[in-house]
Amino acid sequence: MRILFLHTHYQQHGGEDFVVDQEVALLSSNNEVKLITFSNRRGLVGAIQFFTSIFNIYTFLKIRREVLQFKPDVIHIHNWHFALGPLTFLLLSYFNIPIIHTVHNFRLLCPSAILLAGNEIFTKSLEERFPWTAIKRKLYRGSYLQTFWLAFIIYAHKLLGSWSKIDAYIFLTAFSSTLFQKSKFSIPSEKCYLKPNFVDSSFCNTVKTHSGAYLFVGRLSYEKGIKVLLEVFIENGQPLEIIGDGDLRESVIKTCEKYPNITYLGFQKKEYIQDRMTKAKALIFPSIWFEGMPMTIIEAFSNSLPIIASNVGAMSTMIIEKFNGMLFEVNNASSLSDVVNMFDAFSHAEKSTMAANAYQDYIGKYTPDVNYHLLIDIYKDVIDKKLRS
């Protein structure tokens, strides 16, 4: 099968970029795969890209040339924002090649992309045909103009038929799929497919002790629940290791200097993180937004590490209470504290069972082999539907 991937890199390499690289490598072993990438620039060039994205001639011509040369059986789009304008979708529909789009966030529903305003979940855009409330609250880069223009780009795509030209939407969780289908975006259920992310188990350490500190791995930012995390572990005195970087780095460092039970390990490579996961009691995942599909949770599962996560969004569907982890009320320090105390009170056998279940979840859902077959089955199904339509 010939598979053409289209993806726009973010200004900072992130989770979506990593997922694309993984899928391309995974599928290349038994298929002809080509990846075309674009980059969102900074400064004046980035501003020009942003405000001309609706009719991006450069992207149009580049993709046209590549499609004619490669002749793909299917086209798989990851991040379209903001290189792939309506002209590109019109072009792809002209070739009558099945188009698949993996939905990593909520940008199609709201300019915020994470459905968060300040410190609260924001779902008003799901009810509005045009997200005026998000614009008033400047949810994209703190700017009225940029929030309006991004909203207009998405709306222009809709008016010009871009989203209807997509033959299949891949959602990472059932939560995300349901949210989209119930929103004003209105994706037909027959176009919705589920396929989670995956991690390569070759990174995993076979020696697992799980007797050390609790562990946090992620971006040090407010939406990741850092404030609640620190509040709880300052109070309970339990050992906590923090790995990551972000806007709240200095605040985390100052807290660690004052409270010796909390250790900041900085930004670390995957191998080091895997090692800490084999030694941790549980992964704490206190994010206050819905999330797409956190790779950190999958990595924890692959290391037989139970999760203590906020009961919201992706986490509410990935974590099964007292099976592979535990859930607490989102952005609620008291609730997190109670759950940590409850987890501590479990017997060694109960914790071991949760750890084993976490690993079995990984084996059943999040391995490269499972992902490969899911992707190929989706491609074949969409191609078949296209031929019959």
**Tokens 């990472």 found at:** 172
Q: Where are the domains of the chain?
A: 2-198+368-388, 201-365
Mean pLDDT of 275-285: 96
- Strand 192-194 relative to strand 2-9, pairing: unpaired
Which CATH number describes the domain made up of 201-365?
A: 3.40.50.2000
What mean pLDDT, rounded, does the chain reach?
93
The share of the chain scoring above pLDDT 90, in percent, equals 82
Q: How far is CA 304 from CA 32, 156, 195, 235, 277, in A?
A: 35, 46, 21, 28, 9
Decide: 80 and 101 in contact? Cβ < 8 Å: yes
pLDDT at 248 over 60: yes
Q: Can you give the pLDDT at residue 207?
A: 63
Q: Can you give the pLDDT at residue 22?
A: 94
Q: Can you give the pLDDT at residue 87?
A: 83
Decide: 193 and 171 in contact? Cβ < 8 Å: yes
Q: What is the pLDDT of residues 113-154, one digit of tens each?
A: 999 998 899 999 999 999 999 999 999 999 999 999 999 999
Q: Which one is predicted more confidently, 254 or 388?
A: 254
Q: Can you give the pLDDT at residue 84?
A: 86
Q: Can you give the pLDDT at residue 72?
A: 97
Q: How confident is the model at residue 86 (pLDDT cuts 50, 70, 90)?
A: confident
The share of the chain scoring above pLDDT 70, in percent, equals 97
Of the candidates 113, 120, 121, 119, the residue with the CA atom closest to the CA atom of residue 141: 113
25 token code pair: 């490598």
Q: How far is CA 159 from CA 50, 154, 284, 315, in A?
A: 19, 9, 43, 34
Looking at the domain 2-198+368-388, which fold is it? Rossmann fold (3.40.50)
Q: What is the pLDDT of residues 301-315, one digit of tens each?
A: 999 999 999 999 999
pLDDT at 205 over 90: no
Q: Can you give the pLDDT at residue 12?
A: 67
Decide: 191 and 167 in contact? Cβ < 8 Å: yes
Q: How confident is the model at residue 203 (pLDDT cuts 50, 70, 90)?
A: low
Q: Which one is predicted more confidently, 188 or 40?
A: 188
Query: Residue 211: how many CB atoms within 10 A of its CB?
Result: 10
Phi-psi region of 227 (alpha: psi -120 to 50; beta: other; left: phi over 0): alpha
Q: How confident is the model at residue 46 (pLDDT cuts 50, 70, 90)?
A: low
75-87: b (≥16 Cβ within 10 Å) or e: bbbbbbbbbbbbb
Choice among 57-61, 227-231, 341-345 with the minimum mean pLDDT: 57-61
Adjacent-strand bridge partners of 79: none
pLDDT at 11 over 70: no
Most distant CA atoms of the chain, gap in Å? 66
Q: Would the CATH topology of 2-198+368-388 be identical to that of 201-365? A: yes
**Tokens 């819905």 found at:** 290
Q: How confident is the model at residue 277 (pLDDT cuts 50, 70, 90)?
A: very high
Q: How confident is the model at residue 33 (pLDDT cuts 50, 70, 90)?
A: very high
Helix (H, G, I), strand (E, B) or coil at 243: strand
